[in-house]
Chains A and B, each alone.
Chain A
Amino acid sequence: MIKRKSLLAAALCSAMFALPAVAAPLGSSWADVTKLPDFFTGNWQSRMSFLDNPSTVPFTDQAKAHISTYKPIQDIPFAGANCKTPGMPIVQRLGSPLKFFYEPGMIAIYIENSSMTRFIKLNAEHSARPNPTYLGESVGHFEGDTLVVDSIGFDDILLQYGDLPGKGTGPFVLPPEAIFGPHGPNLRMVERIRLVDPDTLEDQLTIYDDTVWKQPYVEPAVQIFKRSRGDAGWPSEWVCNSANILAFDPSSNKTIEEDPAEVLKRLQQNDKH
């Protein structure tokens, strides 16, 4: 009898150990760092225009009404005295590199051009009521070698609807060529980030906003970044308008340029204090 019970217990134990273990998703442990694609060495320099070429995604009536009265801007608010961030996605392409970091459950992206950092919570759900931010609340997971990032909860970002008729067709789109406008309450961005080769990273972005577009806005071109290594890939700090040499006049929509002799005089006076 005792022998039979022992055999039964041994069989139960064997069955338990035979059950398939549920593997934690990639990005859950420190050990995973060796399995992740290497987004982390050095930094990534955008190779794209920070504004998009024209798209064929149809606008909603609400967006058409906005466009019908839209007045082009001379420059983006980032050029102004307070260097107001354009937010996602433009901030990632303004000209300075991105630096990726990892810890279990999170990938962070330092955006040098503004010293802002995106924090992407891995293998998690969005919070019920995300507060508005310029980078959005981001959750991500890996699908094979691709990091899929879903972002919601945006503040007053600089959202490009498209380009003015006949404009924005060159490889570098200028702010006066583009149309910007407000976003709706359910704005959502989905990025698929992966390595094309060891030194090339792509970020394929789709924007969902049913107040602006009748269909998801798939960016006309995949964003491409190139890796810098060593000293060239070391992150730097960013302090906006650290010398107080620029000003932006929102009433005239102009950037104000002073005579360099006057600016120099002011700077040299400041040096004496």
Chain B
Amino acid sequence: MNVRGSTRVAGLAAALLFAAAPLPASAHHSAALFDMSKQVSYRGTVEKWLWANPHSWLYLRVAKPDGSQEVWGFEGGSTGMLAHTGWNAADMKPGDKVTVTASPARDGNHIGLLNEVHLPTGRVLSAGAGTPPPGAGGPPPGGAINVPPPR
């Protein structure tokens, strides 16, 4: 078990606020668990889509270049916030091939703050921490920057 400090509630809430109103990227990230100045893409196979409070989690099995595999966990919003923004508990099932964009953990652990999921159907679920109400505008959490090619 890996023990470390975090501000998970703050991180998710910050991401939500970020989605709601554009703010300088450096404004509130100094102590956050996730580096929200970055977004990284991960392609993998769904192991579990956990629809839960306080936050939902998407677990993917991701293939490494050497052929080995590792499990990654991506933290999303609460069930209510996700439902408000068009997500559903049945959106993903084990075995689905998806591509995720997420803000990675600062310490290199295999977790990230979920931003987008590209489903096999072509549909895109966006802003894992919830999106603003219609008309509020603003970019997704962290903005679309520093996105390397899918792994």
Contacts and interface: CB of A to CB of B under 8 A. Distances in A.
Contact of B13 (A95, A226, A255, A267): A95
Given A83-B54, A170-B28, A243-B50, A96 B80 contact: yes
Contact of A171 (B1, B28, B48, B136): B28
Contact of A75 (B7, B47, B130): B7
A255 B5 CA distance: 6
A254 B6 contact: yes
A251 to B, nearest CB: 11
Contacts of B79: 236-238, 242
Interface in A245-261: 245-246, 249, 252-261
Contacts of B4: 254-255, 257
Main secondary structure of the interface of A (DSSP, over half): loop
B70 A261 contact: yes
Contacts of A228: 84, 133-134
B6 A47 contact: no
B32 interface: yes
Nearest to A259: B2
A93 to B, nearest CB: 8
A82 to B, nearest CB: 11
A170 B27 contact: yes
Contacts of B70: 261
Interface string A219-241: 00000001111011111111111
Contact of A257 (B6, B21, B135): B6
A91 to B, nearest CB: 12
B84 A232 contact: yes
Contacts of B71: 260-261, 264
Interface residues of A, number: 61
B23 A172 contact: yes
Contacts of A52: none
Interface string A173-203: 1111100000000000000000000010000
Given A96-B81, A174-B28, A260-B72, A267 B5 contact: no
Nearest to A271: B48
B98 interface: no
A85 B54 CA distance: 12
B143 interface: no
Nearest to B10: A174
A10 interface: no
A268 interface: yes
A240 B53 contact: yes
Interface of B: 1-10, 12-14, 16-17, 20-21, 23, 27-28, 30-33, 47-48, 50, 52-54, 57, 59, 70-73, 78-81, 83-85, 109-111, 129-130, 132-136
* 8 closest A-B pairs by CB: A260-B73, A236-B80, A172-B28, A243-B52, A261-B71, A228-B133, A74-B5, A95-B13
